[in-house]
Chain A
Amino acid sequence: MNRRPGLVLLLGWLVAIGALGWYVRHELVVGADLRLYLPSPRNEEQRLLLEEVGQGPASRLLLICLEGAEPALLAEMSQAMVGTLRSDPRFRFVGNGGADLGGLPDELLPYRYLLTPAFDDQPLDSTLLAKEMRNRLKDLASPAAGIIEEWIRRDPTLEILRLAQAWQPSQGPQRLHDVWFSRRGDAALLLAETTAAGFDPGKQQEAMREIERAFATARRDRGARITVTGAGAFSVMMQERTQREATLIGTVDSVAMILLLVIAYGSARSVALGVLPLASGGLAGLAAVTACFGVVHGITLAYGFTLIGVAQDYPIHLLSHQHRGITPLDNAQAIWPTLATGVAGTCIAYLAFLFSGVNGLAQLAVFAIAGLAVAGLTTRILLPRLMSPDTRDCGASEMLGRLSDTVDRLPRPRWLSAVVASACLAVILLAPWPLWESNLGALTPVPQSVLQQDAALRSELGAPDMRYLLVVHGRSAEQVLQRSESLTPRLDALVEGRRLASYSNPARYLPSVRTQEMRRAALPGPGELREAVTEAASGTPFKPGVFDQFIADVARARELRPLTPQSATRTPLGARLESLLTERGGNWTGLITLGGVRQPNALARLAGSAENDVVMLDLKAVSEGLVAQQREHILRALTVAAFLLVAVVGIALRSAPRAARVLQPMILSTLLVLAVMHASGISLTLFHLMALVLAAGLGLDYALFFERAANDPIERRRTLHAVIVCSISTFIVFAVIAASSLPVLRGIGLTVTLGVVANFLFALLLARSGSQATDARA
C-alpha cells in the first residue's frame, strides 16, 4: 500500500472526526429533565403525574435538617438561614416554623379580614371582641407581653398571627426555641420550596449551593451538620455521582482496552487505528442525536457510549483475521457479509426502542444505530486502507491451535439447547416474584438509605407525601377555589379522625372571591364597629381610642376588591399559590397535597362523592400503570424486531439450518441471563432490557463469525482469536460498570457481563460446530 494516499486518508479521517466533534461541541445541549426517560403520558392522570413528578409542589420541596449541636444553637442557625434564604429569588418559600408576623406586606394587612375564616361562624361583634380583649389583657399582664403588645392596637384578635400560622406549609413538627424540631428534639427542621422544577439539576444545584452557603454562614465555626433531601437534592446528587462514576469508569475502561489490544496485536499502530471506528461512531451518534433532538439527556450520553462499545469489536475482527497473503481490503471484503449482518441485526434491535414512545430511549436508539452504522462502515471502507498488510497472523499461533482443538473436542450434546431453554423458562415462569420492576422510582435510582432519610424527614415535617394527591378541576380559578373550599370541612374531618395527618389546599392561602365577598359583606360598618369596640372595652382597662387603627383597617377591608390569583401574584401568597393552582389552555387545576395518608380509601370516597371535578391521584398506581404500559409497548416492538432479525440473518445466510445455528446461542443466552437475574430476585427495568439487547447483539456477532469460519482450521483460529479478544474486552468494560455504586449502571454492567460469558460459551458450542470441523480435517 502506497504510504502517501494512506497518510492523506488518515488526515482526512481525523479532520472529519474533528469536524464532527466541533459540531457536537457547539450544537449539543445537554438536558437533565429526567422525564425525558419517562414514558409519554396517554391520559389526564398520567399527564398530571409527570407534571407533578417534575414540577409539582412536592417535587420542589427541599427538606433541611440541622443537627449535631445544642438545640438552642441549632435554632439560632435555623433562624439565620431563613433570614438569608428568604430574600433569595431561587426560593419561593423558606420556612422553619418561626411565626413571622412581618410575612404580610403592609398594603396587604387589611386583606386579613377577607382571608381569615375566624369570623365565618361568629360575627365580629362586641361579644367576640370582649372575649378577645379579655385574652389580650391576660397577654399584657405577662412579662412576655412585649411580643404582641405592638400589634394589639391594630389587630386585637391577632388575625395576622393566626394567618401566619395557617400558611405554614406544615403544622406537624414540634417547636422548640420558636422553630421546628424533630420529635427527639435534636434536629432543627426547615422547608424550602425552590423556584426551579425538581428535575432541573442545574438550577437545583444552585439552590443547594445557596442553602449550603447560608448554612456555612449561620454555623460559623460551631460543629453542626446539614442534611438536605427532596427530589431536587436527589437529582443533584445523582447527577454528581453519575458524572463522577462515568469519568472513573471511562478512564479505567480505556486503559484496560488499550492494554488488551496491545497484548492481542503487539502493534501500537494497530491499536491506534483500532480506536478510530469507535471514535467515529461515537461522534456520529452524538451528532445524529443532536441533529434529531436538539436537547440530549445526560443519560443518553452516558449510556449511549456504553451501548456502542460493541463497535470496538468491528476493528478487532478485521485485525484478528489479517495475515500475510491477503490485503487488508480483501480481508475486509471477506468478513464484511458477516460483519454487516451483525451490524444490521443489532441496529434492528435498537430500532425497537426508537418506537418505544419514550423520548430518551428514542435518543439512545438513534445514537446507537448511527454510531454502529458509522463504526461498521469505517471499519469496512477506511480502516483497511490504513492498515499494515503484514501484521502478526493470529492463525499461526500454536497456543490458539491447541485451544481450538480442545474446544472442538468438547462434547456438544444435541439435547443441550432444549434442556437449557426449558430450565431457564421454568425459572422465569415459575419463580413467584414479579419479573418486572413496576416502580417508577427504580428508573430514578436514588440509594435506599437516602430515600429512608427523606421519608423520615417528610413524616417529621408533615410535608406532603409524594404518593397521593387530590386534583380539583374547573373552568376558572374561582371555580377551582370554590370546589376546594367545599372539600375543606370533609378534609378537616379526616384529619380529626386521624385518617390523614395534614393537607394543604389552594383555598387555605386564597379563599374564593365568593367567600371573600361574603366575609366582606359580614364585616361591620365603621360606626357599628366603633360601638362594638366601645361596648367590649367598657369595664376593661383599655384606653378609649386605643383600637382606632383596628377600626380603620376593617373599614379599609370593606372597600377592598377581593384578592385573585392574578392580583396576588407579587405577594408572598402568590408564590405559595403558584404551584397549587395552575392554568392550562383555559382549564384550571388545583392541587390538594396530602401528608401522612393512613386511609387512602377514605380519600378516594371523598373524591368519588364530589362528582367529576375532584380526582384522587395515586401517583404510585398511575406510575406503575404507565411503566407497565410502556413496557408492553417496548416488548411488542422488540418482538417485531426479533422477527426482522431472524429474517435478516436468514436472508444473509440463505439457509435455515445455518440461521438456526447462529440464532440459537443468542436466544439461549438471553433466556439464561433472564433466568439468572430472576432467580436472584432482580426485577427487570428498561435499562436491563436495553442491556439484554446489547448482549444479544454481541452474541449474534460471535455466532456469525464462528459459523462463517466453520471449515478452515487456520481461519478458525483467527476467528477464535477475534471472538476471544472481543469478549474479553466487553467483559472487562462491563465488569467495571457492574462494580458501580449506581443501581442502573450496576444493573447494565451485570446483565452484559453475564450475557457476554453466556453468549461466548453458547456460540462456541453451538455455532462453531465441532463435527463439521472434524469432517474437514478428515
Chain B
Amino acid sequence: MLVLLAVCTRSTLAAEADAAALIARLARPAPANTRFVEARFSSLLARPLVVSGQLTYFAPDHLVRRVDEPFRELMTIRGEEVVVERDGEQPVRFSLKRAPELLGMLSSFGALLAGDRTLLDRHFRSSLSGDDVRWRLVLTPTSDRVRQKLGSIHVDVERDAVRCFTLVEPDGDASLMLLGDTAPATRPEPLERGWLEALCSGVAP
C-alpha cells in the first residue's frame, strides 16, 4: 500500500514536471497576435455560427477580439470592463463579471501565453493527455460561479503552438476556436462538430 502510494506520488510528480515544461513551451512575448476561426454551437441553432478575425493579447487584463467575417465587431477587454463595438451602433459596455466565459477565456489565455503553469492553477484544475507532440489540456474552472456558465476549456496543442481553444458550456453548447493555421481555407457544408474536433486534435479529417 505504502509502496503503491509512493509510486503514485512519484509518477504524479513526474507528470507535473512534464506538464509545467510543456506549458512553458507555449510562452510568447506580448503583444501576441493570431488569426482565428470560431464556430459556435448553440441549442438555439440548427447549424453553427462561424466568424473569423484576429485576437490580440496585450497583457493579462487586456485582450482584443476583432471579427472581420461575416460582420465586423470589435470586442475589447480591458481590466474589468468589456466594450463591444459594431458598425453603426452605440458601443455596449458590460462588466467582465457578467460574462464568466470571457473571464475564463482571458485568464487561461494569459496563463498559456505566459507559459506559466502556476498562473493556470490559480483559476483552473487541469488535466493533461496526449504525448509530447500533440497534447490536450482540459481546464475546469475552480470558481463555482464561473463553472455555472463555463463547464471546461479544452486546449489542443501541437508542438509549441495552440491549435484549438474550445469553450464547453455546462449545457453542452460549445464554441470552438481554431487558431493560427489550424483552419483550412475551405470547410465542409454542413459543418459538423466532429470534423472540427478532429481538426483540433491534429488528426487530418
A interface, CB within 8 angstroms of B? 71-72, 75, 137-138, 140-147, 149, 152-153, 175-179, 541-544, 546
In the assembled complex, 29 residue pairs joining A and B whose CB atoms fall closer than 8 Å, in A order, are A72-B80, A75-B80, A138-B71, A138-B86, A140-B44, A140-B45, A140-B49, A141-B40, A141-B49, A142-B75, A142-B84, A143-B99, A143-B102, A143-B105, A144-B75, A146-B99, A146-B100, A147-B94, A147-B98, A147-B99, A149-B42, A177-B80, A177-B96, A178-B97, A179-B95, A541-B47, A542-B45, A543-B44, A543-B45
Are B44 and A149 in contact, with the CB atoms below 8 A?
yes
Are A146 and B149 in contact, with the CB atoms below 8 A?
yes
Are B97 and A152 in contact, with the CB atoms below 8 A?
no
For the complex formed, measure the closest distance between the CB of A100 and the CB atoms of chain B, giving whole angstroms.
12
Other A-B pairs, 4, CB within 8 Å; known A144-B94, A146-B100, A149-B44? A140-B49, A141-B40, A143-B99, A177-B81
Q: Which residue of the partner chain A has the closest CB to B86?
A: A138
CA distance A152 to B43 in the complex (A): 11
Are A146 and B175 in contact, with the CB atoms below 8 A?
no
Closest 3 CB pairs of A and B: A178-B95, A144-B99, A177-B95
* Residues in A neighbouring B73, C-beta threshold 8 A: 138, 142
* Residues in B neighbouring A146, C-beta threshold 8 A: 99-101, 149, 169
Are B49 and A137 in contact, with the CB atoms below 8 A?
yes
Are B97 and A177 in contact, with the CB atoms below 8 A?
yes
Q: Which residue of the partner chain B has the closest CB to A174?
A: B93
Q: 1/0 contact trace for B80-111 toward A, CB 8 Å? A: 11101010000001111111111001000000
* Residues in A neighbouring B86, C-beta threshold 8 A: 138
* Residues in A neighbouring B79, C-beta threshold 8 A: 72
CA distance A141 to B46 in the complex (A): 14
* Residues in B neighbouring A176, C-beta threshold 8 A: 80-81, 93, 95
* Residues in B neighbouring A149, C-beta threshold 8 A: 42, 44, 173
Are A144 and B45 in contact, with the CB atoms below 8 A?
no
Q: Which residue of the partner chain B has the closest CB to A175?
A: B93
* Residues in A neighbouring B175, C-beta threshold 8 A: 143
Judge if B48 is at the interface, Cβ distance under 8 Å.
yes
Given contacts A138-B86, A143-B167, A146-B169, contact A541 B46 (CB under 8 A): yes
> In B102-151, which residues have CB < 8 Å from any A CB?
102, 105, 149
For the complex formed, measure the closest distance between the CB of A702 and the CB atoms of chain B, giving whole angstroms.
71
Q: Which residue of the partner chain A has the closest CB to B72?
A: A138
> In B1-57, which residues have CB < 8 Å from any A CB?
38, 40, 42-49, 51
Judge if B65 is at the interface, Cβ distance under 8 Å.
yes
* Residues in B neighbouring A142, C-beta threshold 8 A: 73, 75, 84
* Residues in B neighbouring A546, C-beta threshold 8 A: 44
Judge if B67 is at the interface, Cβ distance under 8 Å.
yes
CA distance A65 to B112 in the complex (A): 39
Q: 1/0 contact trace for B148-167 toward A, CB 8 Å? A: 01000000000000000001
* Residues in B neighbouring A75, C-beta threshold 8 A: 80, 95
Q: Which residue of the partner chain B has the closest CB to A70?
A: B80
> Contact partner of B84 among A140, A144, A153, CB < 8 A?
A144
Are A71 and B80 in contact, with the CB atoms below 8 A?
yes
Most A CB contacts (10 A, CB to CB) among B44, B99, B167 go to B44
* Residues in B neighbouring A541, C-beta threshold 8 A: 45-49
CA distance A153 to B44 in the complex (A): 8
* Residues in A neighbouring B71, C-beta threshold 8 A: 138
Are B80 and A145 in contact, with the CB atoms below 8 A?
no
Most A CB contacts (10 A, CB to CB) among B47, B73, B75, B80 go to B80
For the complex formed, measure the closest distance between the CB of A697 and the CB atoms of chain B, giving whole angstroms.
65
Q: 1/0 contact trace for B167-181 toward A, CB 8 Å? A: 101000101000000
CA distance A141 to B38 in the complex (A): 8
* Residues in A neighbouring B51, C-beta threshold 8 A: 141
CA distance A546 to B97 in the complex (A): 28
For the complex formed, measure the closest distance between the CB of B177 and the CB atoms of chain A, giving whole angstroms.
9
CA distance A768 to B93 in the complex (A): 81
CA distance A177 to B94 in the complex (A): 6
* Residues in A neighbouring B67, C-beta threshold 8 A: 141
* Residues in A neighbouring B98, C-beta threshold 8 A: 144, 147, 178
CA distance A75 to B96 in the complex (A): 12
CA distance A542 to B49 in the complex (A): 10
CA distance A144 to B86 in the complex (A): 14
For the complex formed, measure the closest distance between the CB of B189 and the CB atoms of chain A, giving whole angstroms.
12
CA distance A147 to B82 in the complex (A): 13
CA distance A775 to B86 in the complex (A): 103
CA distance A145 to B51 in the complex (A): 14
